[in-house]
Structure 1
Amino acid sequence: MEDRFLKRLRKKSRKGLRGWPIATIAFYGPNLSQATKVAVGIILSENAEPEMRDWKVDRGDIRADPVVAREILEFMEKHGALSVAMTDGIIGCPHQEGIDYEGEWCPVCEFWHGRDRFTGKKVR
Protein backbone atom coordinates (compact mmCIF):
# COMPACT_ATOMS: atom_id res chain seq x y z
CA MET A 1 0.00 0.00 0.00
CA GLU A 2 1.28 3.44 -0.91
CA ASP A 3 2.40 5.58 2.01
CA ARG A 4 0.18 8.56 2.88
CA PHE A 5 3.05 11.01 2.49
CA LEU A 6 3.73 9.81 -1.06
CA LYS A 7 0.01 10.15 -1.85
CA ARG A 8 -0.03 13.72 -0.52
CA LEU A 9 3.01 14.65 -2.60
CA ARG A 10 1.49 13.28 -5.82
CA LYS A 11 -1.86 14.93 -5.08
CA LYS A 12 -0.23 18.34 -4.56
CA SER A 13 1.60 18.04 -7.88
CA ARG A 14 -1.65 17.35 -9.76
CA LYS A 15 -3.34 20.55 -8.51
CA GLY A 16 -1.37 22.80 -10.85
CA LEU A 17 -0.42 26.44 -10.36
CA ARG A 18 -2.01 27.79 -7.18
CA GLY A 19 0.30 30.75 -6.57
CA TRP A 20 3.68 31.51 -5.01
CA PRO A 21 5.77 30.03 -3.48
CA ILE A 22 6.25 27.21 -6.01
CA ALA A 23 8.01 23.93 -5.22
CA THR A 24 9.82 22.13 -8.04
CA ILE A 25 10.61 18.43 -7.65
CA ALA A 26 12.98 16.60 -10.02
CA PHE A 27 14.14 12.99 -9.91
CA TYR A 28 17.55 11.75 -11.10
CA GLY A 29 19.03 8.30 -11.45
CA PRO A 30 21.61 6.07 -13.12
CA ASN A 31 18.96 4.96 -15.67
CA LEU A 32 15.29 5.54 -16.55
CA SER A 33 13.92 3.04 -14.04
CA GLN A 34 15.68 3.84 -10.75
CA ALA A 35 15.68 7.27 -9.10
CA THR A 36 18.45 7.67 -6.54
CA LYS A 37 18.24 11.45 -6.04
CA VAL A 38 15.47 14.01 -5.73
CA ALA A 39 16.10 17.76 -5.85
CA VAL A 40 13.51 20.18 -4.51
CA GLY A 41 13.56 23.91 -5.09
CA ILE A 42 11.26 26.44 -3.44
CA ILE A 43 10.81 29.65 -5.42
CA LEU A 44 9.25 32.30 -3.19
CA SER A 45 8.30 34.74 -5.95
CA GLU A 46 8.85 35.49 -9.61
CA ASN A 47 12.56 36.08 -10.37
CA ALA A 48 13.60 34.89 -6.87
CA GLU A 49 16.49 32.46 -6.43
CA PRO A 50 15.31 29.01 -5.34
CA GLU A 51 15.94 27.57 -1.90
CA MET A 52 17.34 24.12 -2.79
CA ARG A 53 17.54 20.81 -0.99
CA ASP A 54 18.27 17.31 -2.23
CA TRP A 55 18.02 13.76 -0.95
CA LYS A 56 19.92 10.66 -2.10
CA VAL A 57 19.67 6.91 -1.54
CA ASP A 58 22.33 4.26 -2.09
CA ARG A 59 19.86 1.45 -2.77
CA GLY A 60 16.34 1.16 -4.10
CA ASP A 61 14.23 3.92 -5.59
CA ILE A 62 13.90 7.21 -3.73
CA ARG A 63 10.37 7.69 -5.13
CA ALA A 64 9.22 4.78 -2.95
CA ASP A 65 10.83 6.09 0.25
CA PRO A 66 8.14 7.40 2.65
CA VAL A 67 10.71 9.05 4.93
CA VAL A 68 12.04 11.16 2.05
CA ALA A 69 8.48 11.99 0.92
CA ARG A 70 7.64 13.19 4.44
CA GLU A 71 10.81 15.32 4.59
CA ILE A 72 9.98 16.86 1.20
CA LEU A 73 6.48 17.75 2.43
CA GLU A 74 7.94 19.27 5.61
CA PHE A 75 10.43 21.32 3.52
CA MET A 76 7.57 22.56 1.33
CA GLU A 77 5.36 23.40 4.32
CA LYS A 78 8.24 25.24 6.05
CA HIS A 79 8.45 27.54 3.01
CA GLY A 80 4.68 27.78 2.49
CA ALA A 81 4.69 26.28 -1.03
CA LEU A 82 1.27 26.71 -2.67
CA SER A 83 2.10 25.12 -6.03
CA VAL A 84 4.06 22.00 -6.93
CA ALA A 85 5.68 21.14 -10.27
CA MET A 86 7.05 17.58 -10.34
CA THR A 87 8.76 15.65 -13.13
CA ASP A 88 6.90 12.63 -14.48
CA GLY A 89 10.04 10.54 -14.58
CA ILE A 90 13.80 10.64 -14.21
CA ILE A 91 15.51 13.57 -15.93
CA GLY A 92 19.15 12.60 -15.94
CA CYS A 93 22.15 11.45 -14.00
CA PRO A 94 22.22 12.11 -10.22
CA HIS A 95 25.77 13.50 -10.44
CA GLN A 96 26.46 17.16 -11.20
CA GLU A 97 28.79 18.23 -13.99
CA GLY A 98 31.62 20.37 -12.62
CA ILE A 99 30.91 19.26 -9.05
CA ASP A 100 30.93 15.45 -9.09
CA TYR A 101 32.85 15.06 -12.36
CA GLU A 102 34.61 17.03 -15.09
CA GLY A 103 33.69 16.79 -18.76
CA GLU A 104 30.51 16.31 -20.71
CA TRP A 105 29.48 12.83 -19.49
CA CYS A 106 29.40 11.31 -16.02
CA PRO A 107 31.92 8.45 -15.76
CA VAL A 108 29.64 6.56 -13.34
CA CYS A 109 26.32 6.66 -15.23
CA GLU A 110 27.10 5.11 -18.60
CA PHE A 111 23.39 4.83 -19.44
CA TRP A 112 23.18 8.61 -19.93
CA HIS A 113 26.16 8.87 -22.33
CA GLY A 114 24.79 10.33 -25.55
CA ARG A 115 21.20 10.52 -24.29
CA ASP A 116 18.75 13.39 -23.95
CA ARG A 117 18.14 13.87 -20.23
CA PHE A 118 14.44 14.61 -20.64
CA THR A 119 13.49 11.79 -23.04
CA GLY A 120 16.22 9.24 -22.33
CA LYS A 121 16.59 8.74 -26.09
CA LYS A 122 19.95 8.53 -27.82
CA VAL A 123 21.06 11.82 -29.40
CA ARG A 124 24.61 10.79 -30.33
Structure 2
Amino acid sequence: MTLMHCERGANEEAIQVLCRGVTNGFLSPVCEAILGGRVEVVGEAEVLLPWPCCGHRTLTELYDSVVRTGYDICNHCRWEDDGIVSDSVHGSVNKAAMSQYRERIREESNYFYREKWS
Protein backbone atom coordinates (compact mmCIF):
# COMPACT_ATOMS: atom_id res chain seq x y z
CA MET A 1 0.00 0.00 0.00
CA THR A 2 1.33 3.44 -0.89
CA LEU A 3 -0.20 6.67 0.36
CA MET A 4 0.06 9.59 -2.01
CA HIS A 5 0.06 13.19 -0.72
CA CYS A 6 1.02 12.06 2.78
CA GLU A 7 4.12 12.89 4.75
CA ARG A 8 6.58 10.04 4.98
CA GLY A 9 7.77 8.89 8.39
CA ALA A 10 6.07 7.87 11.60
CA ASN A 11 2.56 8.85 10.44
CA GLU A 12 2.73 6.73 7.31
CA GLU A 13 4.22 3.79 9.21
CA ALA A 14 1.48 3.95 11.85
CA ILE A 15 -1.21 4.06 9.16
CA GLN A 16 0.32 1.08 7.37
CA VAL A 17 0.33 -1.00 10.56
CA LEU A 18 -3.26 -0.09 11.45
CA CYS A 19 -4.48 -0.71 7.92
CA ARG A 20 -2.67 -3.96 7.17
CA GLY A 21 -4.72 -5.90 4.62
CA VAL A 22 -7.35 -3.16 4.30
CA THR A 23 -8.87 -2.53 0.89
CA ASN A 24 -8.00 0.69 -0.94
CA GLY A 25 -11.72 1.44 -1.26
CA PHE A 26 -12.06 1.48 2.52
CA LEU A 27 -8.82 3.34 3.17
CA SER A 28 -9.21 6.20 0.67
CA PRO A 29 -12.18 7.99 2.32
CA VAL A 30 -10.64 7.47 5.76
CA CYS A 31 -7.44 9.21 4.67
CA GLU A 32 -9.43 11.94 2.95
CA ALA A 33 -11.38 12.62 6.15
CA ILE A 34 -8.20 12.77 8.23
CA LEU A 35 -6.13 14.82 5.80
CA GLY A 36 -8.93 17.07 4.54
CA GLY A 37 -8.30 16.57 0.85
CA ARG A 38 -8.31 14.11 -2.00
CA VAL A 39 -6.07 11.11 -1.38
CA GLU A 40 -5.26 8.43 -3.89
CA VAL A 41 -4.47 5.06 -2.34
CA VAL A 42 -2.59 2.82 -4.76
CA GLY A 43 -1.05 -0.62 -4.61
CA GLU A 44 -2.23 -4.03 -3.62
CA ALA A 45 -3.52 -4.76 -0.15
CA GLU A 46 -1.43 -7.27 1.77
CA VAL A 47 -2.92 -10.74 1.39
CA LEU A 48 -3.90 -11.98 4.82
CA LEU A 49 -5.21 -15.32 6.03
CA PRO A 50 -8.75 -15.89 7.35
CA TRP A 51 -9.23 -16.20 11.10
CA PRO A 52 -10.52 -19.50 12.46
CA CYS A 53 -12.98 -17.57 14.65
CA CYS A 54 -14.62 -14.85 12.53
CA GLY A 55 -13.32 -15.61 9.02
CA HIS A 56 -12.06 -12.07 8.36
CA ARG A 57 -8.74 -11.90 6.56
CA THR A 58 -6.63 -10.20 9.25
CA LEU A 59 -4.20 -13.03 10.15
CA THR A 60 -0.57 -12.39 9.15
CA GLU A 61 0.77 -15.84 10.03
CA LEU A 62 -0.58 -19.17 11.21
CA TYR A 63 0.09 -20.41 14.73
CA ASP A 64 3.01 -22.83 14.79
CA SER A 65 3.13 -25.05 17.88
CA VAL A 66 6.67 -26.29 17.12
CA VAL A 67 8.30 -22.87 16.79
CA ARG A 68 5.67 -21.25 19.05
CA THR A 69 4.99 -18.30 16.75
CA GLY A 70 1.85 -16.80 15.25
CA TYR A 71 0.03 -15.43 18.27
CA ASP A 72 -1.78 -12.76 16.23
CA ILE A 73 -4.87 -11.05 17.64
CA CYS A 74 -7.73 -10.34 15.23
CA ASN A 75 -8.57 -6.65 14.88
CA HIS A 76 -12.18 -7.61 14.22
CA CYS A 77 -13.20 -10.20 16.83
CA ARG A 78 -10.20 -9.90 19.22
CA TRP A 79 -9.60 -13.69 19.14
CA GLU A 80 -5.94 -14.58 19.71
CA ASP A 81 -4.68 -17.38 17.49
CA ASP A 82 -3.39 -19.89 20.03
CA GLY A 83 -3.68 -22.93 17.79
CA ILE A 84 -6.99 -24.11 19.29
CA VAL A 85 -9.55 -24.63 16.53
CA SER A 86 -12.27 -26.39 18.52
CA ASP A 87 -15.47 -24.37 18.98
CA SER A 88 -15.97 -25.51 22.56
CA VAL A 89 -12.45 -25.43 24.04
CA HIS A 90 -11.54 -22.44 26.18
CA GLY A 91 -7.80 -21.85 25.78
CA SER A 92 -5.52 -20.04 28.19
CA VAL A 93 -5.18 -16.79 26.21
CA ASN A 94 -8.78 -16.17 25.12
CA LYS A 95 -11.49 -15.26 27.61
CA ALA A 96 -14.03 -17.67 26.14
CA ALA A 97 -14.41 -20.52 23.69
CA MET A 98 -14.50 -19.74 19.96
CA SER A 99 -18.25 -20.49 19.82
CA GLN A 100 -18.83 -17.78 22.46
CA TYR A 101 -16.82 -15.25 20.44
CA ARG A 102 -18.89 -16.13 17.36
CA GLU A 103 -22.14 -15.75 19.30
CA ARG A 104 -21.03 -12.31 20.51
CA ILE A 105 -20.34 -11.28 16.90
CA ARG A 106 -23.86 -12.42 15.90
CA GLU A 107 -25.51 -10.67 18.87
CA GLU A 108 -23.61 -7.42 18.34
CA SER A 109 -23.58 -7.45 14.55
CA ASN A 110 -23.87 -3.66 14.22
CA TYR A 111 -20.74 -3.23 16.32
CA PHE A 112 -18.76 -5.83 14.42
CA TYR A 113 -20.02 -5.05 10.90
CA ARG A 114 -17.22 -3.53 8.85
CA GLU A 115 -16.23 -3.64 5.20
CA LYS A 116 -12.63 -3.04 6.10
CA TRP A 117 -11.08 -6.39 5.28
CA SER A 118 -11.71 -8.40 2.18
More helix, by proportion: 2
Find the structure with the greater CA-based Rg: 2
TM-score, length of structure 2 as denominator length = 0.25
What is the TM-score with the length of structure 1 in the denominator? 0.24
